[in-house]
Amino acid sequence: MAFSIILGGIAGLSFLLLLWQWLVAVRFPLHRREASRSAEPPVTLLKPLKGCDETTRASLRSWFTQEYCGAVQILFGVASGEDPVCQIVRDLIAEFPKQDVQLLVCDSLSGTNLKVAKLKEIERAAKHELLVISDADVRVPPDLLSNLAAPLAGAKCGLVNCFYQFANPTTLAMDWEAIAMNADFWAQVLQSRSLKPLDFALGAVMATRRENLRRIGGFAALADCLADDYQLGQRIARDGYHIALSPVTVQCWSAPMGWRAVWKHQLRWARTIRVCQPTPYFFSILNNATLWPLIWLAVSFSTPILLATTGAVFVRMLSAIDLQRRLNRPDTRGLFKLVGLSWLAPLKDLLQFALWLGAFVGNTIEWRGRTMRLRGDGSLVAQE
């Protein structure tokens, strides 16, 4: 009896945490735009690249078509001039000959995190104080730079970042992962922010000043970190600066992935978060609004508990539909797809428990074809 009461309490807590997460997401002014300005500061975009797929050209091209009044310098960094992405960049440079763009081959990379190693090299060629750092697979709206630059006009703002959408889930495994990215992740970030100011960064797109970067030791200080975006934001926050969250969203595009690739990606993400925030991640299992009601039902089956569990799972599915709708703003056909795949939300929760356990029982990850060992401080060691 006592055990059933305890499980019922945990199930009730998980449901309240779900409602809290949903509420803070509903209240956030997602997709709101800053008013356009006649004068904007010059910006340098740092874009490390490796490889390409059928989505790469459109993603890179979106940076060439920014509606921005200030000067924009774009620096692409690759490890080899033979990388197939180089031809895409050269084609875009030819298409936009008036743009200030360089393709830099970084042949002396140092550090375990090769993305950061490229950033360290190409940042030396930056002309401007305002830096924008973006992953290769990110596609952006034409007013993004304007909305990133505006908060940095304030002296105490040290970094601006934004939420991202998993834009093209093309397999069932990717639809399952989309629940984690398009429904849960951004709402959980806002849930955390409702308790304390944001002290980390989301790495799809980040904007900061070179002075803020210099004060934390530059990219060299992040050369062996897996979660370089998290560490960049945390170190700038520790330096006394505010981390701003822009309501403008960007899109992340991916080549098709099956269950194996998606699982590896989610496990890498889980182990990364566990290392970065071990205590919050340990207690994050209480946020699982499907797992705990089902355990409660399995231990103490009764009609009232069955109804409570059914209601909790139904609300969980509704929240997943609504949060994805708010982030993605789908058309009617896309909304019907979200409704039809809403059953993936409770499935995601159940598999999330396995990921949660996996985050604590191992310290190896696979990243871009390399097997790495994750140290307790978040740094990486390459495995032979």
What is residue 281's three-state secondary structure?
helix
What angle, 0 to 180 degrees and rounded to 10, lies between the N-to-C axes of helices 303-328 and 344-361? 90
Query: For the chain, give me the number of helices (H) and strands (E)?
Result: 15, 11
Q: Which domains does the chain have, with CATH numbers?
A: 43-180+199-249 (3.90.550.10)
Question: Alpha-carbon distance 7 to 317, whole Å?
Answer: 21
DSSP 277: S
Q: What is the model's pLDDT at position 2? A: 85
**Mean pLDDT in runs of 10 for the chain (384 residues)?**
90 97 97 82 97 95 95 96 96 96 89 89 96 96 95 93 96 96 96 94 96 95 89 96 97 94 92 89 95 96 96 98 96 93 97 94 76 75 66
Question: Alpha-carbon distance 12 to 296, whole Å?
Answer: 10
Q: What is the model's pLDDT at position 383? A: 63
Q: What is the model's pLDDT at position 159? A: 98
Q: What is the model's pLDDT at position 354? A: 96
In sign, the C-alpha dihedral spanning 285, 291, 293, 298 is negative
Question: Alpha-carbon distance 116 to 319, whole Å?
Answer: 36
Question: Alpha-carbon distance 380 to 231, whole Å?
Answer: 13
Q: Tokens 């969250």 — which residue? A: 245
Q: What is the model's pLDDT at position 347? A: 97
Answering whether pTM is above 0.85, one says: yes
Bridge partners (DSSP) of residue 48 are 77
Task: Identify the CA nearest to 353 among candidates 278, 307, 292, 306.
Answer: 292
Whether residue 241 contacts residue 142, with contact meaning beta carbons closer than 8 Å, is answered with: no
Within its chain, how far is the Cα of 111 from the centroid? 22
Provide the CB-side half-sphere exposure for 127 (13 A, CA).
12
Plot region of 266 (φ>0 → left; ψ -120 to 50 → alpha; else → beta): alpha
- Tokens encoding 149: 């630059």
Is 180 exposed, middle or buried, given 0-12, 13-18 or 19+ CB atoms closer than 10 A? buried
